[in-house]
Structure 1
Amino acid sequence: MTGFRDFEWFVAVDWSGAQGARHKAITMAIAHADGGPPVLVERKRGWARSEVLAVLRDKLPANSLVGLDLGIALPFADAGAYFPGWDRSPADARSLWRMIDAVCEGDDHLSASSFVDHPVASAYFRRHGGREGELFAPQGEAGGRGRFRITERAQEAVGCKPYSNFNLVGAAQVGKSSLTGMRVLHALDGSIPVWPVDPLPREGSVIVEIYTALAAMAAGRSASRSKVRFREELDIALINLGSAPIGGTGPMDDHSSDALMTAAWLRKVAGNIALWAPEGMNRRIAQTEGWTFGVP
């Protein structure tokens, strides 16, 4: 790959915010700049979130672009705060990560249950059992889809169907993944820049937020058909992304296909300068809400 900023490795992590120590839903794939098919980095019993953290902190290949399938922050711009009306509401993304981790210090496996059940913070979330906080919806609205970041509105504009990070209900929700992911980002303690909260470094590794549906759409699939569950379909998607196929036939889980396809997509698009300077993002949005890499 050539471009304004070259990476050697491309790592995609399909994340999970579920309870428990290990998760089959957490998958990691890696692709090399020189080509070839992306490869799964497997754990027989499934990945623990702490193991992914250890890889990012201590075992990541040099000069890697790492995509994490989670939201790196909560909505801020719509109300001028993550938690409008709460005097403890953090001022930026790193302060948000620190707050969540502090509240959840006693939660095992980098989970975030203590935060969503916090006596004040819970008012801003939609939780299971029909428990919708009185501050979940945007001001003046009742119920609905909840609050969104600027990048999520931009996702909608290109055909994606994002969920609010304040929504913790439903198979497609990303709220739990995002909150647990923020604990990981805090634990990294600045050892790897997280774009765009941090500027894109001239060299070395960097973490970005990804949305696997963007990779699927770039591979010729629609947002409603973004999940790939057969190896033959994955190979078609990989070829469309300019990657060598993985080969083989038969079913495969969509978490693995998401990671493999997105690693290949990162390799294809990382040199596109425009994706590092999206039109709707300014410095304030970058430091409070972040952005999804690949959204123009």
Structure 2
Amino acid sequence: MSRFRHFMAIDWSGAARARHKGIAIALCGRNGAAPVLLPAPDHCHWSREGVLALLRGGLPADTLVGLDLGISLPFADAGAFFPGWDESPADARALWAMIDAVCRDDPHLAATSFVDHPIASAYFRRHGGREGPRFHLAPAEHKRGRFRLTEAAQAARGCKPYSNFNLVGAAQVGKSSLTGMRLLHRLGGHVPVWPIDGLAPPAGGSLIVEIYTTIAAVAAGRLAGRAKMHDARELDTALGALGSPPSGLMGALDDHTTDAILTAAWLRRHADDATLWQPAGLTTDIARTEGWTFGAA
């Protein structure tokens, strides 16, 4: 039996607004029942601050929490997050602190001030054809920008990850990742983050991991290029492949809902898979700087 008693998947959003249709939270227990969506406290859409409050004081005991965002930026490829910048942070927690400090006046945990920072902006690809001169750095030559080692591992599983320095296009994850780093900093260690806070998961309590919902979809039998599901029939078929009962939902669904529900079921099924906690390539230095995606092994 898993040492975790609950499993939560959070589909995140980096949009610059107070509340987000793109945030969906699903929760299940280890008893095998289908994951259920958690409504926002005011029955409106979730806010990022609302998710922060949930993580700080509203988690059920011993919850494995999956956050669908990048918990850090590439480091190993160039020996720094921002090579050539004297203030480039030494590790992921220092990076979170820097982003939160620069964006302290941005409402709703947004990260606009960081991507528009006179120095930091040089490392990002932004809207309007504004590709910073340091978006591509040797030896990283991929047109999608710099990758962390875990994103290379995702690609080896048939996924198509994008650089967290890319802020353009429907598939970009940069904005979600930067706003998520503000959330992680403001958690202040209240819930540990794997593997930033240690290669081995703690023996008890709740834990946060980075997730990539496409990995869950592929594990449920879907193709990486067709990972998104838009109705209850597709979702229930995928849930069945992971040993979960049907969702109980009907008709058309948005992919934020289906991603969260399916990935919560996937976390429950794979939480005790030792190979996922010990991926090849994950070292102490990579853990504290770049982090890792749970399941990219």
TM-score (norm 1): 0.97
Amino acid at match of 2:222: R
Structure-to-structure mapping, 1:273-288, within 5 angstroms: 273-288=274-289
Amino acid at match of 1:63: D
Indicate the residue corresponding to 1:28 in structure 2: 25
TM-superposed CA distance for 1:142, in Å, is: 7.3
Q: Deviations over 1:213-258 (max 9, x none)?
A: 0000000001100000010110000000010111343110000000
**Which aligned segments of 4 or more residues in structure 1 are displaced greater than 4 angstroms?**
140-143
Q: Deviations over 1:8-65 (max 9, x none)?
A: 0000000000011000100000010011110000233211000000000011111000
Amino acid at match of 2:83: P
Contact 1:232 1:247 in 2 (8 A): no
Indicate the residue corresponding to 1:68 in structure 2: 67
Structure-to-structure mapping, 1:1-296, within 5 angstroms: 2-3=1-2, 6-43=3-40, 44-139=43-138, 144-199=143-198, 200-296=201-297
Amino acid at match of 2:14: G
Contact 1:136 1:143 in 2 (8 A): no
Matched residues in 2 for 1:234 and 1:21: separation? 29
Structure 2 residue runs without a partner (length 5+): none
Matched residues in 2 for 1:219 and 1:37: separation? 14
Compute the RMSD of aligned alpha carbons.
1.1
DSSP 3-state at the match of 1:66: strand
TM-score (norm 2): 0.97
TM-superposed CA distance for 1:145, in Å, is: 1.1
Matched residues in 2 for 1:111 and 1:280: separation? 32
DSSP 3-state at the match of 1:198: coil
DSSP 3-state at the match of 1:68: strand
Matched residues in 1 for 2:27 and 2:180: separation? 19
Cα distance change on mapping 1:157 and 1:198 into 2, 3 Å: same
TM-superposed CA distance for 1:69, in Å, is: 0.2
Structure 1 residue runs without a partner (length 5+): none
